[in-house]
């Protein structure tokens, strides 16, 4: 009997030790264990705590997709601690922004502001980043309602970049209509502009040559098949090149704006608020 009890105690100690060493602080295993606890718990408040724990674990591992998925299971009404709630709203706003769910990001951010009345530059910066991507009216409304810090005035570019348009686009198209290839050359693509001139010119000369040789059927058919195609094709190409030019200029503006935003983020960093 004494031998059995001693062996039993030894066995239990070894098992606990092995279990502790075996309990690998592995992300997937920890998520699974929390999910098992969620499954076993009957209380909604307790379940909510476990959902929050899973959410925070995934944030720590920078698994943004997973975090957003876990976020959808959490309910704010089951929080007892207001600090935990405000940290949750902040994290939720940030993660929703990172996965491009801007409507939810705005909702969580507004809930955070309502709860905390946070007027720090970091908070204002996050608000600007969220509202700038929504649309210009929400961005302007946000700026109006909040007294922004002067350091953030340089971020107006965030709301202007999506609405950047090339001036006088119609002029390029009209140039292509009047002289095929001219509009394309004006966009910067001189080679294709010259190519248009050459193709339409040679097609027209070919059709004229057929007409001179009394091949009226061929004139009609080749003329119908080629000349309008090249002519309207050139106009389509000009339109395409204009879109590319607009994209290129927008990208250049975005680079300068990105550098400004990066400097601000370095000085006023935005990070997840994880208590543990």
Partner 1 sequence: MNRFKLILFCFVFLVELKAQSFLTDSILSNSFEEYHFDKYKVRSVLNFKERSIWNKMNPFSYVSVGLMFVYQRFISQQLGSECAFETTCSEHAKRAMEHYGILKGSLIGFYQLQSCTAKTGYDYPNQSINNEGEIINPVELNED
Partner 2 sequence: MKIKLLMVFLMICFSSYSQINSSFIKHLVLYDLNTEHNSYLNSFSDSTNIDSLDYFKLKFYLLHNKYDTFLDNVSVNPDVLNDSSLLDYSTGHLLKWSISKTKSLIKIDSLFGMNYLSNSLIKKSLLLVGDKTLSADFLPSSLRTHFDEFEKTRNKKAWVGGALATLLPGAGKLYIGRGKSFLGSFMVNIFYGATAYESIHQFGIRNTYSILTTGVFSAFYLSNIYGTIFDLKRIKIEKKKHFLYEVADYQSSGVYLY
* Contact pattern from residue 79 through residue 118 relative to partner 2, giving x for each residue in contact according to CB under 8 A and a dash for the rest: ----------------------------------------
- Out of 15, 136, 137, 202, the only residue in the binding site for partner 2 (CB under 8 A) is 15
Please state the closest distance from residue 262 (CB atom) to partner 1, in A.
6
- Tell me if 3 contacts partner 2 by CB under 8 A: yes
- Tell me if 6 contacts partner 2 by CB under 8 A: no
- Tell me if 47 contacts partner 2 by CB under 8 A: no
- Tell me if 214 contacts partner 2 by CB under 8 A: yes
The answer to whether the beta carbons of residues 250 and 164 sit under 8 Å apart is: yes
Residue 120 or 213: the one with the smaller Cβ distance to partner 2 is 213
Please state the closest distance from residue 122 (CB atom) to partner 2, in A.
32
- Out of 100, 136, 213, 267, the only residue in the binding site for partner 2 (CB under 8 A) is 213
Residue 59 or 126: the one with the smaller Cβ distance to partner 2 is 59
Residues 142-161 that bind partner 2 (CB under 8 A): none
Please choose which of partner 1, partner 2, none residue 258 contacts, taking the beta carbon within 5 to 8 angstroms, the exact cut-off set by kind.
Answer: partner 1
CA angle (265, 270, 273) in 5-degree steps: 165
- Out of 16, 221, 255, 259, the only residue in the binding site for partner 2 (CB under 8 A) is 221
What one-character-per-residue DSSP string does the chain give? -HHHHHHHHHHHHHHHHHHHHHS---HHHHHHHHHHHHHH---HHHHHHHHHHHHHHHHHTT-HHHHHHHHTT--GGG---HHHHHHHHHHHHHHHHHTT-HHHHHHHHHHHHHHH----HHHHHHHHHHHHHH-HHHHHHHHHHS---GGGGGGGHHHHGGG---S-HHHHHHHHHHSTTHHHHHTT-HHHHHHHHHHHHHHHHHHHHHHHTT-HHHHHHHHHHHHHHHHHHHHHHHHHHHHHHHHHHHHHHHHHHHHHHHHHHHHS--------
Interacting residue ranges for partner 1, rule: CB under 8 A = 62, 64, 97-98, 100, 129, 132-133, 158, 161, 192, 195-196, 199, 229-230, 232-234, 236-237, 240, 244, 247-248, 250-251, 253-254, 257-258, 261-262, 265-266, 269-272
Residues 165-204 that bind partner 2 (CB under 8 A): none
Q: Which tokens go with 43?
A: 């209380």
Alpha carbons 246 and 99: distance in angstroms, whole number: 26
Residues in touch with partner 2 (CB under 8 A): 3-4, 7-8, 11, 15, 28-29, 31-32, 35-36, 39, 66, 73, 213-215, 217-218, 221-222, 225
């Amino acid at each position: 009997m004494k031998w059995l009890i001693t062996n039993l105690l030894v066995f239990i100690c070894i098992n606990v030790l092995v279990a502790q060493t075996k309990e690998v602080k592995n992300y997937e295993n920890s998520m699974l264990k929390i999910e098992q606890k969620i499954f076993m718990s009957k209380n909604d408040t307790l379940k909510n705590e476990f959902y929050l724990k899973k959410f925070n674990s995934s944030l720590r591992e920078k698994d943004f997709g997973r975090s957003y998925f876990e976020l959808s299971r959490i309910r704010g009404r089951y929080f007892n601690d207001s600090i935990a709630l405000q940290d949750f709203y902040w994290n939720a706003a940030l993660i929703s922004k990172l996965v491009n769910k801007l409507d939810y990001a705005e909702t969580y951010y507004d809930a955070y502001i309502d709860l905390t009345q946070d007027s720090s530059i970091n908070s204002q910066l996050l608000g600007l980043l969220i509202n700038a991507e929504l649309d210009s009216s929400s961005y302007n409304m946000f700026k109006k309602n909040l007294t922004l810090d002067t350091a953030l005035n340089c971020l107006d570019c965030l709301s202007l970049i999506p609405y950047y348009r090339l001036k006088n686009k119609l002029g390029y198209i009209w140039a292509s209509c009047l002289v095929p290839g001219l509009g394309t050359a004006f966009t910067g693509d001189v080679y294709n502009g010259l190519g248009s001139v050459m193709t339409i010119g040679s097609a027209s000369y070919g059709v004229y040559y057929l007409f001179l040789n009394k091949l009226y059927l061929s004139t009609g058919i080749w003329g119908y098949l080629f000349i309008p195609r090249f002519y309207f094709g050139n106009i389509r190409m000009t339109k395409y090149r204009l879109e590319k030019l607009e994209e290129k200029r927008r990208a250049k503006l975005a680079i300068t704006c990105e550098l400004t935003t990066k400097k601000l983020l370095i000085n006023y960093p935005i990070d997840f608020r994880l208590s543990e």
